[in-house]
Structure 1
Amino acid sequence: MSWLAHFNILNYLTDIIDILIVTYLIYKVILIIRGTKAVQLAKGILVIVGVWFLSSLFQLKTLEWILNNAITYGLFAIIVIFQPELRRVLEQLGRGRLFSRGTIVEEQHKQMTDAIVKASSYMAKRRIGALMSIERKTGLNDYIETGIPLHGNLTSQLLINIFIPNTPLHDGAVIIRGNEVVAAACYLPLSESPFISKELGTRHRAAMGVSEVTDSLTVVVSEETGGITVTKNGEMFRDIPEERLAEILQTELNKSEKNNGSLRWNWRGKHHG
């Protein structure tokens, strides 16, 4: 009898391990396809499966037969449709990175950092004013709605083109979510802090203002001096050397995924806050 009980316990443990492994695999696949067109396709598949379940439940024979055939032959279509995503999964599995914790997120942060740093460097050298706010845990939808929706892939070229003077979108802020430029020409709240230097303009006050009410990370390029500024949690860090901006962004973005601790920046910039 004790042997039977022990056997049952082993079965339960095997089932739990099986469920955990499958759940983890699904989670990693979701991370890989997140932000791609595969997400919308996956939603469509879920709708079809839901309709199939309802047709079976309510005995809708004709609809059930159509969906049964669609699902059967649809498996081949899924392989074709999801070919890029399946290739990415296999490539990461081959590199042994599918199970690496946070690898995908860190890669996204690196791409975001590279795009912002390249754009900031280009614009700083040419005295092109820019205001870029990165959404983190606190949503920026209220400010996104004040601008022009873009939903474009984040690249340095796109950021530079947006802020070229005398173009329709250059006046205002760009809001970045993940590796996407969500909107441009957005209005951010202006800070009323009396400690902000009088020599700073609207962009810097807007960057400080949004940092006072959200946890966003905002980068400003001054068109007067070409200096680069970062604001975070009601603090302003001015005249950041270009070679340090990448390290600041990368460290802060990675840290925001792990905890809410503040980043201590070890550079010699002007600090206001």
Structure 2
Amino acid sequence: MLFGELPVLNYVGNVIDVLLVWFVIYKIIMVIRGTKAVQLLKGITVIIVVQFLSKFLGLRTLEWIMDQALTWGFLAIIIIFQPELRRALEQLGRGKLFSRGSVPEEDEQTKVIEAVVKATSYMAKRRIGALISIERETGMGDYIETGIDLKAKVSSELLINLFIPNTPLHDGAVILQRNEVAAAACYLPLSESPFISKELGTRHRAAVGISEVTDSITVIVSEETGGISVTKNGELHRELTPDSLGEILTSTLIGQTRSSSGARWQWRGKRDG
């Protein structure tokens, strides 16, 4: 009797087969989590459910439409999501497709917030224009690719130096990913909203634009006035102080106020005179 014909080995082989399939599916979900592909997956799920219901209820016309959507949808996916597919293949070639992404701890996130607040306060006093976008759940890989890769640990000194006028990387946005400066001199989409004040420039429009297409939170320092602003969820919050900026970043990124006793967030860094 061959080993492949043993019932126990067949059972073990089936179990391993199922576990491997689930492992691959899980890792693929982890890769696309936080990207535009998640919305695509939701749409495909809706189409499959509608197709099943139309077949069960005998709705022939609707069933035919859903069949066509699934048949031609694969080609549409390749065309629409070509950048995401290319990035996934590149990660596979570098052996990073199944790597486990690190999630920043609260202490690390707090250090990032303090670095951003300190750098923003310094630049605001000296009217150094700045645009800092912090990635959250929605991936910003498409925009990171438009800039210069850095992959450097976040610090206030680094952020300040990146925006010093007439330096190679000062023009554009800095994107923070987890606890790193992912890239500098990045291009962000400009908002076409007619409700943005005419007195605001490209930095503010870019900050609003990225907040309309991702869930990122973006900090702006005006070069003309030194004013500090924040955008999130398509909304612009202007004329902020370092303390109010810290409160917004903490509540958004960590989900709680800095002080457990309910006191207001206070930046404890050295004040610039």
Q: Shift of residue 248 of structure 1? A: 1.3
**2:254: which partner in 1?**
254
**2:145: which partner in 1?**
145
What letter is aligned with 2:236?
M
Please tell me whether residue 201 in structure 1 is matched to residue 201 in structure 2: yes
Q: CA RMSD in A?
A: 2.0
Moved over 4 A (4+): none
Map Cα deviations across residues 24-72 of structure 1 (whole Å, 9 max, x no partner): xxxxxxxxxxxxxxxxxxxxxxx9xxxxxxxxxxxxxxxxxxxxxxxxx
What letter is aligned with 1:250?
T
Structure 2 unaligned residues grouped into runs of 5+: 1-94, 96-102, 257-263, 265-273
Map Cα deviations across residues 54-102 of structure 1 (whole Å, 9 max, x no partner): xxxxxxxxxxxxxxxxxxxxxxxxxxxxxxxxxxxxxxxxxxxxxxxx9
Task: Provide the C-alpha distance between the structure 2 equivalents of 1:245 and 1:234, rounded to a whole number of angstroms.
Answer: 17
Task: Provide the C-alpha distance between the structure 2 equivalents of 1:122 and 1:169, rounded to a whole number of angstroms.
Answer: 18
Task: Provide the C-alpha distance between the structure 2 equivalents of 1:110 and 1:245, rounded to a whole number of angstroms.
Answer: 13
Count of equivalent residues: 157
Map Cα deviations across residues 176-204 of structure 1 (whole Å, 9 max, x no partner): 01110000000000000000000000000
Please tell me whether residue 165 in structure 1 is matched to residue 182 in structure 2: no
Equivalent residues in 2 for 1:58-73 (5 A)? none
Task: Provide the C-alpha distance between the structure 2 equivalents of 1:239 and 1:133, rounded to a whole number of angstroms.
Answer: 18
Task: Provide the C-alpha distance between the structure 2 equivalents of 1:110 and 1:222, rounded to a whole number of angstroms.
Answer: 24
Please tell me whether residue 242 in structure 1 is matched to residue 224 in structure 2: no
Q: Shift of residue 255 of structure 1? A: 2.2
What letter is aligned with 2:106?
E
**2:118: which partner in 1?**
118
Equivalent residues in 2 for 1:40-189 (5 A)? 105-189=105-189
**1:192: which partner in 2?**
192
| Percentage identity across paired residues of the two chains | 67
Task: Provide the C-alpha distance between the structure 2 equivalents of 1:151 and 1:106, rounded to a whole number of angstroms.
Answer: 20
Q: Shift of residue 247 of structure 1? A: 1.5
Q: TM-score, normalised by structure 1?
A: 0.55
Please tell me whether residue 212 in structure 1 is matched to residue 207 in structure 2: no
